[in-house]
């Protein structure tokens, strides 16, 4: 189990958090020696990468988690007198999940995927042979990655690219995989348009995207921070936002600053479209305030600094959401799934 | 980033001292040089401009009012052109020109009072149209220049602001006013010179006292347990927050869009935080690009204005509009701080954010991408539209947008509004 020193470390890193934000969780690096002995090495590695934010966005974390779970399954042998459907989840899978959650709060897509995975395990009969159950689960994970991640990304990029008209000036914030794929796809489809990237100087992902778009031959304007927001919104014809997740009430959960961009765009009557895979939709959680669900940036957590990683964008700042299943207003896909 | 911006700029004291020690033309040139190199910025521009114009009045050769106005206008235009990003310079030039007109018309009026025995308050007289039919004016004023900015309100009402206005003519003693101006007697010009110099001193006092006067309203605006967000606090805002801290237990969120320079090891807002903390006021530094995330915890946003335009819009530090916009989205009040001398009788330019800072500090091209492939838009100033501002807190107290026209009319003459657009063409 855990050692006492573990708690001392935890107290230290959280003690500088201002009281009004003290309820917000924060990722933390757990020395591998302190991890539970039952945690599989593959999961251990994924947890470390999530705590260090080398695995950062929701889909990257989901995919890495699922692949690690495949390793856990492959190594799994049901103890004598037990069945996989009764033993695997409480004694093997749950300790992995607990560890990952300790490294960094679980994202919605991981929660959704784990729920689906557990339902699949429960669907096996108590006397289903172990090999058959394992095969079934491994196949399910492969299909899940193929459909909900790879195919979803392809379909969203294709559908979103169709909405880009010749002469459009697209504004986007930071770097989001779906937005980048969409813009590159639109360029390949022969669309003529320009892109304005507003970056978050605490992240600088936008700079990489600006360069990647620029290399593809798309005219790019790059603003290093939100200081350029007003001018860039005026120049833009529409706004594409890639988001981390969507709440049951249609609010977006996006990188901190996303809401500021959406508010500015809506005020200037520009069309605001969010891109998101349905696996990132949450059917139960509702958020109208960025402090209901959020995470503290561990890199900026000191006596001198405080930073939240996400913000909440209310659905009335949005004109639509594009998912792999349908396009509609902020609310409709949430109701659809 | 911002707290160190004025790091190597000369202090105001040194600047004034060096300007005083030079010949007039040399000190104007060196001030213009400093403006162009952005070594004098923001609030310092107002003070330094008043100093320079004081020297223009004191040292330049002029034998009548129009020559004096011309001298001030031509130097003023050069200063404005040297630093178009600092509209406060133009405000001070207009104030001095208005002051000269007031003093000149006061001398004439005083003369008329002597001959016609009419007791009339000079401040109630139309400012420059005092063309008396019985007496031919030596150099009649031409009609005000028509320009794009003449939407300015012409009415000059006698109001509370007028009475309080430091540069108001009513407080000036009427000395040597009995000499007819048509002969341009040296004694009359000498008295005009000393009246104008006194008036400029008063403008300088107004500038230096504005921050304290604004701060005196802090305890009304800041209440116990308030969570106040201050975006890149200016000197004015810092003084306001500290004054409030002496009376109120509240919390300050300090924000800038850019991460602090980690190489310099500089602690952001260190001096301000130390002062606030010494009063028991908590400070939280938000290291964040977006501000919507925190706004539900904030109930007031305080923004230091570089300039308040006549429509009520603000010229501000880059990114301040993000704070104002987030506050507005969640119905939090936005308080703009700025002395009356920052009120600019012009409309904001269409392209306020057009001014760009250095881009290479933001983008590394070491990965082989051509430098011109990316257009980097690094803005240094920003604009807050009037609909996002709830209160304008000035040295004359809190104002609403509807009061702005009156304040403008009380401090500027319509004929001086577009002074820099037609340099040398006025007379």
Q: Report ipTM (2 d.p.).
A: 0.90
pTM of the model: 0.84
Quick check: A228 and B353 CB within 8 A? yes
Specify whether A179 is located in the same domain as A229: yes
Specify whether A329 is located in the same domain as A181: yes
A16 touches chain B (CB under 8 A): no
* Per-residue pLDDT tens over the stretch B94-103: 999 999 998 8
Residues 6+ apart with CB under 8 A from A224: A199, A201, A207, B258, B359, B362, B363, B376, B378
Which of A179-183, A231-235, B347-351 comes out lowest in average pLDDT? B347-351
Mark B124-157 as b/e (b = at least 16 C-beta within 10 Å). Answer: ebebbebeeeeeeeeeebeebbeeebeebeeebe
- Half-sphere exposure in the Cβ direction for B292 (13 Å, CA): 25
Specify which of A52-66, A321-335, B361-375 reaches the highest per-range mean pLDDT.
A52-66
Specify whether A68 is located in the same domain as A209: no
* CA atoms of A288 and A76, how far apart (whole Å): 42
Specify whether A82 is located in the same domain as A211: no
CA distance B364 to chain A (A): 9
Quote the number of domains for chain A.
2
In DSSP notation, A1-36 reads ---HHHHHHHHHHHTTS-GGGTTS-B-----GGGS-
Specify whether A235 is located in the same domain as A267: yes
Specify whether A164 is located in the same domain as A146: no
Which of B2, B232, B288 is the best residue to mutate to test the A interface, defined by the most A CB atoms within 10 Å of its own CB? Answer: B288
Q: What is the DSSP letter of B356?
A: B
Quick check: A226 and B325 CB within 8 A? no
Residues 6+ apart with CB under 8 A from A293: A247, A253, A285, A287, A310, A312
Q: DSSP H helical segments within A204-254, as ranges?
A: 205-215, 229-235
At B176, the pLDDT band (50, 70, 90 cuts) reads: very low
Residues 6+ apart with CB under 8 A from A32: A44, A48
Give contacts of B 325-354 with A, CB under 8 A: 325-326, 329, 351, 353-354
pLDDT given at position A43: 96
Specify whether A111 is located in the same domain as A180: no
Q: Are the C-beta atoms of B222 and B276 separated by less than 8 Å?
A: no
State which of A115, A131, A151 marks the end of a domain.
A151
A196 vs B contacts (CB less than 8 Å): 377
* CA atoms of A268 and A266, how far apart (whole Å): 5
Confidence check: pLDDT of B359 > 70: no
CA distance A257 to chain B (A): 4
CA distance B360 to chain A (A): 11
What is the token pair recorded at A75?
């190594």
* Per-residue pLDDT tens over the stretch A71-123: 999 999 999 989 999 999 999 999 999 999 999 999 999 999 999 999 999 99
Mean of the per-residue pLDDT values for chain B? 79
Continuous segment of H or E residues that includes residue A328: strand A327-328
Specify whether A163 is located in the same domain as A144: no
Which of A24-28, A306-310, B58-62, B365-369 comes out lowest in average pLDDT? B365-369
pLDDT given at position B244: 97
Specify whether A121 is located in the same domain as A213: no
Quick check: A222 and B376 CB within 8 A? yes
Quick check: A263 and B287 CB within 8 A? no
Q: What is the mean pLDDT of residues B84-110?
A: 87
Which of A209-218, B237-246, B376-385 comes out lowest in average pLDDT? B376-385
* Per-residue pLDDT tens over the stretch B24-76: 888 999 999 999 998 888 889 999 999 999 999 998 888 889 999 999 999 99
What is the token pair recorded at B343?
């009120």
B383 vs A contacts (CB less than 8 Å): 230
State which of A105, A132, A151 marks the end of a domain.
A151
Confidence check: pLDDT of B164 > 50: no
CA distance A254 to chain B (A): 10
Quick check: B363 and A224 CB within 8 A? yes
Domain enclosing residue A84, as ranges:
4-151
Specify whether A142 is located in the same domain as A270: no
Q: What is the mean pLDDT of residues B263-291?
A: 89
State which of A121, A151, A181 marks the end of a domain.
A151
Q: Are strands B227-231 and B300-304 parallel, antiparallel or unpaired?
A: parallel
pLDDT given at position B361: 61
Quick check: B321 and A313 CB within 8 A? no
Specify whether A320 is located in the same domain as A269: yes
* CA atoms of B164 and B159, how far apart (whole Å): 9
Quick check: B297 and A291 CB within 8 A? yes
pLDDT > 90 in chain B, percent: 48
Report the candidate in A24, A64, A39, A71 with the shortest Cα–Cα distance to residue A307: A24
Report the candidate in B346, B343, B344 with the shortest Cα–Cα distance to residue B399: B343
Which of A24-38, A153-167, B275-289 comes out lowest in average pLDDT? A24-38
Specify whether A173 is located in the same domain as A137: no
pLDDT > 70 in chain B, percent: 70
Q: What is the mean pLDDT of residues B385-413?
A: 92
**Which domains occur in chain B, in start order?**
8-213 (no CATH), 216-411 (3.40.50.10470)
């Amino acid at each position: 189990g855990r050692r006492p020193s573990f708690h001392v470390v935890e107290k230290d890193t959280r003690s500088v958090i201002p009281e009004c934000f003290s309820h917000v969780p924060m990722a933390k690096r757990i020395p591998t020696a302190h991890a539970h002995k039952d945690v599989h090495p593959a999961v251990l590695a994924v947890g470390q990468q999530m705590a260090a934010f080398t695995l950062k966005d929701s889909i990257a974390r989901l995919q890495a988690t699922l692949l690690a779970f495949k390793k856990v399954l492959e190594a799994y042998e049901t103890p004598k007198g037990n069945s996989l459907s009764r033993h695997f989840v409480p004694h093997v899978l749950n300790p992995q999940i607990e560890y990952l959650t300790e490294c960094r709060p679980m994202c919605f897509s991981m929660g959704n995927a784990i729920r689906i995975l557990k339902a699949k395990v429960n669907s096996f009969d108590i006397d289903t042979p172990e090999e058959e159950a394992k095969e079934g689960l491994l196949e399910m994970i492969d299909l899940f990655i193929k459909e909900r991640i790879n195919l979803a990304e392809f379909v969203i990029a294709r559908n979103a690219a169709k909405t880009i008209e010749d002469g459009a000036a697209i504004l986007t914030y930071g770097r989001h995989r779906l937005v980048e794929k969409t813009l590159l796809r639109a360029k390949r489809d022969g669309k003529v348009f320009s892109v304005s990237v507003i970056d978050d100087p605490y992240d600088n992902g936008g700079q990489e995207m600006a360069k990647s778009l620029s290399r593809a031959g798309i005219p790019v304007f790059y603003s290093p921070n939100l200081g350029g927001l007003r001018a860039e919104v005026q120049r833009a014809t529409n706004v594409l936002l890639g988001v981390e997740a969507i709440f049951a009430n249609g609010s977006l959960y996006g990188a901190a600053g996303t809401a500021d961009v959406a508010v500015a765009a809506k005020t200037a009557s520009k069309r605001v479209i969010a891109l998101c895979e349905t696996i990132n939709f949450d059917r139960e959680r509702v958020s109208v305030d960025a402090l209901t669900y959020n995470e503290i940036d561990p890199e900026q957590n000191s006596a001198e600094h405080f930073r939240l990683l996400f913000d909440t964008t209310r659905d009335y700042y949005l004109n639509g959401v594009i998912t792999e299943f349908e396009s509609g207003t902020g609310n409709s896909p949430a109701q659809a799934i | 980033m911002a707290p160190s911006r004025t790091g190597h700029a000369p202090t105001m004291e040194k600047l004034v001292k060096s300007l005083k020690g030079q010949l007039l033309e040399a000190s104007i040139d060196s001030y213009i040089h400093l403006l162009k190199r952005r070594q004098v910025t923001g609030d310092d521009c107002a003070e330094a401009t008043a100093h320079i114009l004081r020297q223009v009045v004191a040292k330049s050769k002029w034998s009548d009012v129009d020559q004096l106005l011309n001298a001030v206008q031509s130097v003023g235009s050069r200063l404005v052109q040297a630093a178009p990003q600092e509209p406060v310079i133009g405000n001070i030039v207009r104030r001095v020109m208005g002051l000269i007109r007031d003093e000149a018309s006061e001398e004439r009026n005083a003369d008329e009072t002597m001959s016609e025995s009419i007791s009339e308050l000079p401040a109630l007289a139309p400012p420059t149209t005092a063309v008396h039919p019985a007496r031919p004016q030596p150099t009649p004023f031409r009609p005000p220049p028509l320009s794009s900015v003449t939407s300015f309100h012409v009415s000059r009402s006698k109001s509370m602001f007028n009475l309080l206005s430091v540069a108001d003519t009513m407080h000036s003693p009427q000395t040597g006013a009995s000499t007819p101006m048509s002969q341009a007697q040296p004694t009359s010009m000498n008295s005009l010179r000393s009246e104008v110099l006194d008036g400029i001193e008063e403008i300088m006092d107004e500038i230096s006292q504005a921050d304290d006067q604004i701060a005196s309203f802090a305890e009304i605006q800041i209440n116990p347990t308030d969570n106040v967000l201050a975006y890149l606090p200016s000197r004015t805002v810092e003084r306001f927050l500290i004054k409030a801290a002496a009376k109120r237990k509240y919390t300050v969120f300090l924000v800038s869009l850019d991460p602090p320079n980690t190489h310099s090891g500089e602690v952001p807002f260190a001096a301000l935080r130390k002062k606030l903390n010494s009063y028991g006021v908590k400070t939280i530094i938000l290291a964040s690009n977006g501000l919507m995330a925190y706004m539900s915890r904030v109930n007031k946003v305080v923004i230091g204005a570089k300039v308040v335009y006549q429509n009520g819009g603000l010229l501000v530090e880059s990114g301040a509009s993000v704070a104002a916009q987030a506050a507005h989205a969640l119905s939090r009040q936005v308080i703009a701080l700025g002395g009356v001398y920052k009120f600019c009788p012009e409309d904001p330019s269409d392209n306020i954010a057009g001014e760009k800072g250095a881009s290479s500090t933001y983008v590394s091209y070491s990965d082989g991408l051509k430098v011109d492939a990316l257009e980097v838009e690094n803005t240094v100033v920003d604009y807050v539209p009037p609909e996002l501002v709830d209160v304008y807190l000035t040295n004359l107290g809190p104002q609403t947008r509807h009061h702005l026209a009156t304040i403008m009319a009380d401090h500027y003459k319509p004929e001086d509004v577009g002074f820099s657009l037609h340099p040398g063409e006025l007379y």
